[in-house]
Structure 1
Amino acid sequence: MSCLLGIKTHTALSMIVEVGDFERFEKAPKFASFLGLVPSEDSSDTRVNRYSITKAGNSHLRKLLVEVAQSYTRGNVGHKSVALKQRQKGNPPEVIAYADKANERLRRRFYKMTLNKGVSRDVAATAIARELACFIWGMMTEAGKVSVRGKAMAKKFVRYKEGSDLYSIGMTKFQALAKEAGAVYKIDGMALVNCKVFEKFLETFREF
């Protein structure tokens, strides 16, 4: 969690201790609702009116995230301070990539809201806190971890040769070709491998 901008040891520990099991929230918006960071609503059959956040949740964590959101109100998009790099050091690459994506998106969104749309800084910071809560949920739950691993896997490449020419292919495409070649197939939902076909298929591929 400390891979995210503005979240240090105290904030991370507070989140973990007070939330406990993040898995008890089925989706990210439900976690944001638990923190009282979702807008209140007055709806009828013909109209939907949304107002300020409900504040009907854990006030301590809500205040912490709103304070953390202030870190996204300054600095250049994509910039990583020495302190942030140090906090990220030693974490899995996919977690760092997930945090970097969140940091860039939230900082860019804040500038877009305040500079392009004329939204006040306080309202924009609260919106950033709400989305940050969703990113935290994704980082701390198994559903989020699966998503992170899936995206990281999609970025891997397989290098292969055809004659003297060297090519690169995405891991997802590689897996699809293996299936088409009959090297990998499914029976009753179970993945099976034809070892002879697969070994021959792999002769021209080398993952890096």
Structure 2
Amino acid sequence: MDVHRDFCEIAIVEPDGHARSAGRINTVVEELELFARSLAADDVVALEATSGAGLIAEIIEPHVAAVLVANTRKLPQISKATAKTDRLDARTLARLAGSGFLETVWAPDERTRALRRLCARREALVRARTRAKNEAHAVPARNLCGRPPVSDCFGKKGRAWLAELQLPIDERLTLDGCLRQIDFLDTEIGALEAALATQALDSPQIQRLMTVPGVNLHTAAAFMASVGDIRRFPSARHVVGYLGLDPRVRQSGNAEARHGRISKAGSSLARGMLGEAAWSVAQTPGPLKAFFERIRARKGPQVAATATARKLACLFWCLLTRQEDYAYARPSMTRSKIRQLELAAGAPPRKGVRGIAGNKNAQTREAEREIARRAETAYRRTIADWKAAGPAKTGAGATPGRASSRPSKGKAARQTP
């Protein structure tokens, strides 16, 4: 099926390899359901990954043996063809599916698609709000009004300061328009965050990822929206490659491997949220902070942030596959995150109830921070012992320019109690 917004071009490949066109159907639910009922139980349907591919696959899948959603980035037979029409594209898809050489992608379920839409919509609104705020900041700067006396120009005191500025008429219209846009976007973002919080309260996976200090709802939701079913990935390396956090490597012959930037092949939203979480994790005591500082000392803060984002992706895979919370979680902080989700989802406030927020006791917070500092110290000691030992590499790990080597199994890190 070559899917378009208005119609779908159908092509059929028989068991003997003969391909023929089978006409068009309109891209509406009723005609797609009628087409699905006309198929045989042993048929295989192939279509490209487009905006409506998920729903089309969901309609057809119960009536056929399999529905293959093709990876459009790996279809040079269509994108680079000298003769390219809808009929030829449909025939090419059918031939590739019949021969077994069609590169496919995972088709998410409706819950994952809804989470993806919410995360993408929120990201677009946040970017629009940032543009409006930058434009509003530019108005006082253009008119030499000096620095604002408050840190937030869009709070109560900041808006009072903006209202007192003596500006030309056109600049005042620009500033007031930006403030109205910001108010509208704040309302829209709040509605989306309430919907995200409701989904997070029904998702044990998102709540499990939020046990990592420095990881909030938006990072956990963006990761789950991009990855979906974590059981699809046999190892953490596959998750890293899926998100585009793996470095490019070029090597041929006896020459050393050349390492480049990350591939950026996956979801830009999830990759960006992991990058933001990496900077937050770097400010929180724990092993991840020590990891960030170790990389920063050698390669600078930007590379360290990317490496920490990759480490977070590996950590998320471990937590979800093992169905365990983060070992160095801070329980009071986690309870506060869950309570914030409940309030955002519309739960009534319960002021005065002891322990409902979980993070207001200074002694509890300090005790948990001390445990995190000890874990950070243990990590630093483990790395120091590993460097001091300096085991000689043998075998494939000793290849010059090798990108990475797998850690040895069954060897515990040496550290004092």
Q: What TM-score, normalized to structure 2?
A: 0.27
Aligned partner of 1:64 in structure 2 is 273
How is 1:9-20 mapped onto 2 (pairs within 5 angstroms)? 9-20=217-228
What 5-or-longer segments of structure 2 have no aligned partner? 1-208, 328-417
Task: Summarize deviations over 1:58-83 as a string: whole Å, max 9, x none.
Answer: 111000100100013324x3xxxxxx
Aligned partner of 2:259 in structure 1 is 50
Structure 1 distance, partners of 2:212, 2:287, is 12
Aligned partner of 1:133 in structure 2 is 313
| One-letter amino acid of the counterpart of residue 236, structure 2 | A
Structure 1 distance, partners of 2:282, 2:221, is 23
* Identity percentage of aligned residues: 33
Where 1:41 maps in the other structure, the secondary structure is strand
**Quick check: which one's strand share is greater?**
1
Shift of 1:19: 1.6
Where 1:7 maps in the other structure, the secondary structure is coil
Where 2:222 maps in the other structure, the secondary structure is helix
Task: Summarize deviations over 1:77-127 as a string: whole Å, max 9, x none.
Answer: 3xxxxxxxxxxxxxxxxxxxxxxxxxx222101112223x2x211111000
Max Rg structure: 2
What 5-or-longer segments of structure 1 have no aligned partner? 78-103, 150-208
Matched, 1:7 2:215: yes
Q: Which has the higher contact order (CA 8 A, sep 6+)?
A: 1
Aligned partner of 1:107 in structure 2 is 289
Matched, 1:122 2:326: no
Structure 2 distance, partners of 1:17, 1:114, is 30
From 235, 242, 264, the equivalent of 1:34 is: 242
Where 1:37 maps in the other structure, the secondary structure is coil
Task: Summarize deviations over 1:110-146 as a string: whole Å, max 9, x none.
Answer: 112223x2x21111100000011000011112xx348
Structure 1 distance, partners of 2:295, 2:270, is 24
Structure 2 distance, partners of 1:34, 1:122, is 21
Shift of 1:18: 2.7
Where 1:4 maps in the other structure, the secondary structure is coil
Structure 2 distance, partners of 1:15, 1:52, is 21
Aligned partner of 1:163 in structure 2 is none
Structure 1: 4+ residue segments shifted above 6 A: none
Shift of 1:14: 2.3
Where 1:65 maps in the other structure, the secondary structure is helix
Structure 2 distance, partners of 1:29, 1:18, is 16
Where 1:52 maps in the other structure, the secondary structure is strand
Structure 2 distance, partners of 1:35, 1:18, is 8
Structure 2 distance, partners of 1:109, 1:20, is 27
| One-letter amino acid of the counterpart of residue 18, structure 1 | S
| One-letter amino acid of the counterpart of residue 74, structure 1 | Q
Where 2:240 maps in the other structure, the secondary structure is helix
Report the RMSD for the aligned CA atoms in angstroms: 2.0
Structure 1 distance, partners of 2:226, 2:245, is 16
Structure 2 distance, partners of 1:14, 1:110, is 22
Where 2:221 maps in the other structure, the secondary structure is helix
Structure 2 distance, partners of 1:11, 1:72, is 12
Aligned residues between the structures: 117
